[in-house]
Structure 1
Amino acid sequence: MCKDKCCSNKHENEHSHDHSHDNCCSSHNHQDSYDECCSSHDHEDSHGDCCSCHHEDNHIENNEMCESEDNEILVMKLKGLNCASCAGKIEEKIKNLDSVIDMNLNFTTSILKIKFDGNKDKLIKTVINLVTELEPDVECIVDTGRYITKKYLLEGLNCASCAGKIEKIVSNLDEVYELKLNFALSTLEIKVDKNTQDITKKINDIVTELEPDVKVIDKDYKQETKKTKNTLTLRMLISIAFLTLGFILKTSKTGFEYIPFVLSYVIIGYDIINRSLKNIKRGEVFDENFLMAIASASSMFLGEYPEGIMVMLLYQVGEYFQGKAVESSRKSIASLMDIRPDYANITIGNKVKKVNPEDIKLGDIIVIKPGEKVPLDGVVVKGISSLDTKALTGETDPRFVKENEEVLSGSLNLDGLIEVKVTKTFGESTVSKILDLVENASSKKAKTELRITRFAKIYTPIVVLIGFLTSVVPPLLFNQDFSTWILRGATFLVVSCPCALVISIPMTYFAGIGASSKNGILIKGGNYLEVLSNSKYLVLDKTGTLTKGNFKVNNIKTFNEFSEGEVLKFAAYAESFSTHPIAKSIVKEFKNEINQNIIKEYTEIKGKGIKALVENKEILCGNFNFINSEIKNAKETSENGTIVYISVNNTFAGYIVIKDEIKETSNEAIESLNKLDVTMLTGDRKSTAKEVADKVGIKNYKYELLPDDKVSEVEKLLLNKEDRESLLFVGDGINDAPVLARADVGIAMGGVGSDAAIEAADMIIMDDDLRKIKKSIDIANKTKKIVNQNIFLSLSIKFIIMVFAFFGLAPMWLAVLGDVGVALLAVFNAMRVLKI
């Protein structure tokens, strides 16, 4: 099936000159040996470079298509899977199934994805039986493609703990198949059945119950949102007024001071107490609402009314400013990705109309005025202008565009008016893919982030227990005053809240992703940022990474009275059916139009080259071994570059030398990465590999490698490295997919808008500038440093105040400051990542 797809899709019209399917597909077979595949161009490039470029740029696309049919992806939701241990057992058993190639079980979302080869129905039945055996109450729901995605903005969601509760409750709704909640951007994305009704209302009810001030906005519809009046300020003023009245009554010794004190407490703290009670009903006992409610209520119960009221007042003030800080941080991050176009100008007759970019169809002509964002990808059909692509690539220099040149959505039109023919719908456009990638990056959490989440779940019950023991053990065992120790226990609870960690750490990682995108570096998750910070080994492909991938004819050598024009002409005709850059460079150098009707009996010889009749002359075009086996007078050259040998009617006509150019930034990039162990992998022969390595300053290089050899070389490095060390691989995102997947971080030099690069890699450098690797490592290091600072800052300050509280040296208001104050500092510290 793969063979048929390959030939029918790529060569049916081109290779219609008596060559078989076998010949077509064999020449594209990525399992071919070096001699078989790359000998067609004199062993200048291996399958990794020559064939991966010469043939595999056709094949890899087909390979993915074939794989998508032969190796399907089964997606299931395991509804009700709440046991992490059972999830691990399920994962282990499914991995061992014969038909399973790869799988991933996301315990947070309960989504199971299985890449398999075989009978789908049989696998579904096996998986369901396996899951039911381990977890009888878990329901397995198969994704049949009937689901749609809905996106919501949770405006005003500043509580990380509440976000976690919303995520858990909404994901357990029967209608919800899959869920992603991005706290850093306040967005909620769900998959539901197409026929689902009232899901927005259900989500709104859940959010309102947990966080009454948070507004659920359906991003699929334009909505005018009215700003709700914030009553917190008014409540604070009234609470302070009653608190003052209580002090006055207490001074006058009327005995009724408790009434204004209680009113003050209820006014400022009723929402916290209410949320705490609701959470207890749901079994969510241990959170910041519970800690504050129990601590302040203990103070009120002991008659320390001002202390209990001040706890609530300071906590509310701190939460208010913490919310403002989080909102400010979100805006800072969002401003870095402010590339989404608000509208598109479409030409209808003689008029220009503003419409939603999502309503534009392929082939429509849009008008982009100076100062407007390019809304969709397309080709300029009229006008000239300069584009600011900084938001996409991080480059400060404008890019000049004219007719027949491509423009990418997300760019800013600086000066001229241009008309563009749309080549991609909004959903497939560059800007849409970049935004989707960055917005979903938070779902791939760093290990530190996951550890802190687990730590918070264990930590809070433990500190509640310690607070309880602090309140009762000294009075019971050492005959101490109960009221004194209850107050100390309550103070202990107040300062113990883990908000600073729960909020600031995901915020820091997302800020790191935002800072990367500002520099034209797309990182698919905080987990990759963390791995980047441990970089030790850097492995690079050559073609398209260290070099431009722009092949040019460098020299034509002729023999036996053939002219350069004749050699070039016959080679161009022989190579005219290929889409590889080497073949294209020969055709481009020929410059004349090729009449393919005069090409007869065209045949690709597996791993050797091409035979064809051109103007009734037998043309052989390929590597030296191929030509030398067919004729006797061929002469091999030692020149560096890719060599294509040509014979005409069994007479050696000559050879063509084709060379690639080294990128201007390669030397500087390699020099900046001198602290890493750098290795270059290439399919080129030794002399060519050495020439490139010497020019860019790389000492370690491997040559004449097939794709499998490249994977083996990376595997060797992975086996020798320490656990905390990371290996980065840099390739073009298409030809090096197996190695990109195997490395700790696969980095694609995919170029702006390269769909294949975005799919293949963990990190994409949008403008192919190798210097961005050092920049990404710097951002990762700063992110990790700030994460560690926030962990140390939060835990050390809290620990000190806890000790002081135990010995009665910390008043409760200091404990509140130790909680919300530390959270504020941590959020502000997280935003320093954006300044790199």
Structure 2
Amino acid sequence: MDKKEIKLILSGLTCANCANKIETKVNNLDGVKEANLNFTTSTLIIEGDGSKEKNEIIINAKEIINKLEPEVKVYDKDEVKMEIKSINTCKDGSCSLKNQDCKESHNQRSNHGHTLHEHHSHSHEETHGHSHDHSHSEPITLKDNLRLIIGAIIFVVAILLNRDSKLTIGLFVLSYLLIGGNVLLTAIKNIGRGEVFDENFLMSVATLGAFFIGEYPEGVAVMLFYEIGELFQSYAVNKSRKSITSLMNIRADYANVIRNEVEEKVNPENIAIDELIVVKPGERVPLDGIIIEGKSFVDTSALTGESVPREITKGEEILAGFINTNGVLKIKVTKSFKESTVSRILELVENASNKKAPTEKFITKFARYYTPVVVFSAIALAVIPPLVLKDSSFNEWLSRALIFLVVSCPCALVVSIPLGLFAGIGGASRKGILVKGGNYLEALKDINTVVFDKTGTLTKGVFKVTEVNNINIDKEELLRIAAISESLSNHPIAQSIIMEYGKTIDSKVLSNYEEISGHGVKTLLEGSEILIGNYKMMEKYNIKYNKVNSIGTIVHVAINNEYKGNIVISDEIKEESKEAIKALKEIGVSETVMLTGDNKTVAEKVASLVNIDKVYSELLPGDKVKKVEEIIKNNKSKGKVIFVGDGINDAPVLARADIGVAMGGIGSDAAIEAADVVLMKDNPEALVSAIKVARKTNKILWQNIIFALGIKIVVMILGAIGIANMWEAVFADVGVTIIAVINSTRCLK
């Protein structure tokens, strides 16, 4: 088998604790290198080690899932995609079968318990890893919970009757079976599979224990409260999932393609490179491309987080996910749907949960030991005090022990922590910040040193004429002579002079043109000899020149061996750079460093203007890696060192830093591949936002951990000393979970 990832979608997975068990058991399968179950998107991602065939791993994984969660339906994501594509092909009119044959064929091929038409209605969510649980957007209905309602009515009637009569006891038993029958049945099945310490078993033992000691109303009431709590918990989890995954609703459902001079609406996946598409006002751009006709403002907020629409016109690149606001645009497609920016972003965010944060790993491990410890503590509480203490009642201590059992499920933690991390990643993406994993999101909170590349990161990376210093010649005339003399050169410096001049140039007026490598240009213009280049050029022809301390590249000009002045070309500093450095200091970053291949004078001037602490200049790409390694080695604090670059030329440094951050990397394959975090805005202030999102997410996660464990421990102590009852115990289980889940969704904002 190749080592390609397998993606299975688990429809109807609502138990986070069960999700952890599935992940653990799949990780232990032969042929599996690593398995990660993303509870938020109900997606199990399996990476094979190459020793087993894909189908064999899928069969074994399905066996584990069916054993642990029989109600969960499992789909191979690739098969779902193929079937959706097949339907779309028919919709495009390119299917060779007749309509009726086509429909029957598709329905026969659907072996998931749904028709393909049902799949297609959910294709948007499924294609991008959203949960298949069809109840996500469905309200809590009377029909689905009829048994619970009837059981609750019988329970109320039983309470109103004489408690000691056989009829009343019979009504309590009947209401208990109606309300908790599924819980009991699931517990029995799970015991048969060797899965003892789950919530169903614990609730069954606790409520049956209440019946055993004659507390019939309490036993039924606890099961009723538990079931209602589970209902609200499931609703809260599904609502949270929907809120998070709706952030990723950035792909277009269709594209208007021009074929045989006719415009037709097709699925973006069925469009080839170089085909022409039309995007009308209000439509989302379906694929990356180049505008060949039209002009418009586009809303880029879904990708970059920028709220202000951007003007875009003929010849410019446009990316999938943008929304066209006014004009009609004709676009030549440059990338297939799979390679488009929007697809890569969706894939990146979806896979972010594969890289688990230390907090999530801790909770998973903690949950594995927490439940058995509490269960055995409950057994000890039920057995030891009646044997040791005088006049102690076994029933009383059993009642207290049952409270321990109800509190022992760690659902509040195993649901809210992964949900919070995914919400944090989703919330960051809304701001134009792509974080490749929960581990990087958590690491971002502990930054103490930020290392910046200069060109394209703190500066715009666009060379521009910033000064024209003329001597015994008009400024405009000096610029005209320089622009014409450089008109045959493709060097960025020459092009920036030509751009600054901004008028039509006829290079035919030049004669005896000679480009002197590493020096400049020598040519004849209108009968005069022109020398234009760096200081080496002036020294070569023994021309006295003025030294300039300005930032940037100095281009000297001499006419007939007489010095006429110089033109300063520099890379402009971004307006936000100084504010970004200031904001980093305000949130606790202790040191900022700048690395550049530029000369020392320019580097130090840029560093002083933006208030960078340290600067290292005249570095080659390899030198930058060594310098970052040196900074990491000398970092005495526990904080992380991050490198921020433009993501194109900085791949080795991005990979070496504790966290590599690519800035302005939207649409750049190199940025998305090399970096751990991608700031899609070309703005260094976005780094501050990324750190703030990480810190807020971490704060909310620890709020949930402290709140959940705190309530559970308090209720266990109160239960052990006879103050807390079963009602408090159920609140400490499902009530705390609901509150923790709702709190986790704050990470989205």
Task: Confirm or deny: 8 A CA contact 1:370 1:416 kept in the other structure.
Answer: yes
Report the more deviating stretch, 296-305 or 809-818.
296-305
Deviation at 1:664, TM superposition (A): 1.9
**Structure 2 counterpart of 1:293:** 204
After TM superposition, the structure 1 stretch with the greater mean CA deviation from structure 2, 659-668 or 316-325, is 659-668
The one-letter amino acid paired with 1:524 is K
Paired residue for 1:643? 553
Q: State the shift of 1:445 in Å.
A: 1.7
What is the aligned counterpart of 1:826 among 728, 740, 745? Answer: 740
Corresponding position of 1:410: 321
The 5 Å alignment of 1:270-309 reads 270-309=181-220
CA shift in 2, pair 1:428/1:798, >3 Å = same
For residues 142 and 45 of structure 2, what CA distance do their matches in structure 1 show? Answer: 27
Residue in structure 2 matched with residue 188 of structure 1 by the alignment: 44
CA, structure 1 residues 305+687, in 2 after alignment: closer, same or farther (shift >3 Å)?
same
The aligned residue for residue 507 of structure 1 is 419
Say which of 463, 466, 469 aligns to 1:551. Answer: 463
Q: CA deviation at 1:208?
A: 5.5
SS in structure 2 of the partner of residue 747 of structure 1: strand
Q: What is the rounded CA distance, in whole Å, between the counterparts of 2:646 and 2:707 in structure 1?
A: 41
Residue 162 in 1 paired to residue 18 in 2?
yes
Among 400, 406, 414, the residue aligned to 1:494: 406
- Aligned partner of 1:754 in structure 2 is 668
Residues 141-220 of structure 1 aligned to structure 2 (within 5 Å): 144=2, 147=4, 151-170=7-26, 179-190=35-46, 207=65, 210-211=68-69, 214-216=72-74, 218=77, 219-220=80-81
Report the CA distance between 1:729 and its aligned residue. 2.1
What is the deviation of 1:376?
A: 0.5
Residue 252 to residue 281, structure 1, CA distance change in 2 (3 Å): closer
How many angstroms apart in 2 are the aligned matches of 1:584 and 1:204? 62
Q: 2:230 aligns with which of 319, 323, 329?
A: 319
8 Å contact from structure 2 (residues 535, 556) kept in 1: no
- Distance in 1 (CA, whole Å) between partners of 2:242 and 2:605 is 48
Taking the TM superposition and a 5 Å limit, the aligned residue runs for 1:637-676 are 637-643=547-553, 657-675=568-586, 676=589
Letter in 2 for 1:528: Y
1:425 alignment partner AA: S
* Larger relative contact order (Cα-Cα within 8 Å, sequence gap ≥ 6): 1
CA displacement, residues 464-519 of structure 1 (integer Å, 9 cap, x when unaligned): 11111111111222253222212211111111221111111111111111111111
C-alpha contact (below 8 Å) 2:485/2:523 kept by paired residues: no
Counterpart amino acid of residue 424 in structure 1: K
Which position in structure 2 is the counterpart of 1:454? 365
- Quote the Cα distance in structure 1 between the aligned partners of 2:424 and 2:512: 56
Query: How do 1:563-582 residues align onto structure 2 when only pairs under 5 Å count?
Result: 573=488, 576=490, 581-582=492-493
Matched, 1:352 2:263: yes
CA–CA distance in 2 between the matches of 1:759 and 1:426?
18
TM-score by length of 2: 0.80
The aligned residue for residue 427 of structure 1 is 338
Which amino acid letter does the alignment assign opposite residue 460 of structure 2? K
- Consecutive unaligned residues of structure 1, counting only runs of 5 or more, are 1-142
Q: 1:336 aligns with which of 247, 255, 261?
A: 247
Q: 1:656 to 1:703 in 2, by over 3 A?
A: same
**1:634 and 1:448, CA in 2 relative to 1: closer, same or farther beyond 3 A?**
farther
2:396 to 468, 476, 484: 484
Partner Cα separation in structure 2 for residue 363 and residue 153 of structure 1: 34
SS at match of 1:660: strand
| 1:535-567 deviations in Å (ceiling 9; x for gaps) | 2222222111111100124567899x9987776
In 1, Cα distance between equivalents of 2:654 and 2:493 = 24
TM-score, normalising length from structure 1? 0.72
AA paired with 1:508?
G
Alpha-carbon distance in 2 for matches of 1:586, 1:178:
55
Partner of 1:523: 435
Following superposition, the deviation at residue 182 of structure 1 comes to 1.7
The Cα offsets for residues 371-426 of structure 1, whole Å up to 9 and x where unpaired, read as 11111011122222221111111111111222222211111111222221111111
Structure 1 distance, partners of 2:739, 2:424, is: 17
Equivalent pair of 2:482/2:532 in contact (CA under 8 Å) = no
CA shift at 1:637, angstroms?
3.8
How does 1:641-790 map onto structure 2 within 5 Å? Answer: 641-643=551-553, 657-675=568-586, 676=589, 677-790=591-704
Letter in 1 for 2:446: N
Deviation at 1:179, TM superposition (A): 4.2
Q: Distance in 2 between matches of 1:213 and 1:531?
A: 37
Distance 1:298 1:251, change over 3 A: closer
Match of 1:812 in 2: 726
Quick one: structure 1 residues 502 and 546, their matched pair in 2 at CA, closer, same or farther if it must change by over 3 Å?
same
Distance in 2 (alpha carbons) for counterparts of 1:355 and 1:829? 41
In structure 2, the CA distance between the partners of 1:157 and 1:601, relative to structure 1 (3 Å rule), is farther
Deviations 1:205-264 (A, max 9, x none): 76555445545455413444496888651121232244346546753623x544443333
Q: Give, in whole Å, the separation in 2 of the partners of 1:602 and 1:275.
A: 84
Q: Give, as a single letter, the amino acid of the residue that structure 2 aligns with 1:448.
A: T
Instruction: Count how many residue pairs are aligned between Structure 1 and Structure 2.
Output: 678
CA gap of 1:265–1:199, structure 2 versus 1, over 3 A, is farther
Residues 1:469 and 2:325 aligned together: no
2: CA distance between counterparts of 1:264 and 1:489? 24
- Could you say what secondary structure the match of 1:543 adopts? helix
Q: Which residue of 1 aligns with 2:87?
A: none
Contact 1:750 1:756 in 2 (8 A): no
Q: Pairwise mapping of residues 71-150 of structure 1 onto structure 2 (< 5 A)?
A: 144=2, 147=4
CA distance in 2: counterparts of 1:583 and 1:732, whole angstroms:
24
Q: Is the 8 A contact 1:643 1:655 kept in 2?
A: no
3-state SS of the aligned residue for 1:426? Answer: coil
Structure 1 residues 647 and 413, CA gap change in structure 2 (3 angstroms): closer
1-structure distance, mates of 2:721, 2:69? 36
AA of the residue aligned to 2:409: C
Unmatched runs of 5 consecutive residues or more in structure 2:
85-115, 120-133, 136-140
Distance 1:483 1:707, change over 3 A: same
Distance in 2 (CA, whole Å) between partners of 1:150 and 1:394 is 32
Say whether residues 1:400 and 2:311 are aligned partners: yes
C-alpha contact (below 8 Å) 2:538/2:556 kept by paired residues: no
Distance in 2, matches of 1:206 and 1:612, equals 77
CA distance in 1, matches of 2:35, 2:544: 65
Q: Answer whether contact 1:558 1:567 (CA < 8 A) is retained.
A: no
Closer/same/farther in 2, CA of residues 475 and 416 from structure 1, 3 Å limit: same
- The answer to whether 1:236 aligns with 2:148 is yes
Cα distance in 1 for residues equivalent to 2:66 and 2:117 = 18
Partner Cα separation in structure 1 for residue 693 and residue 375 of structure 2: 37
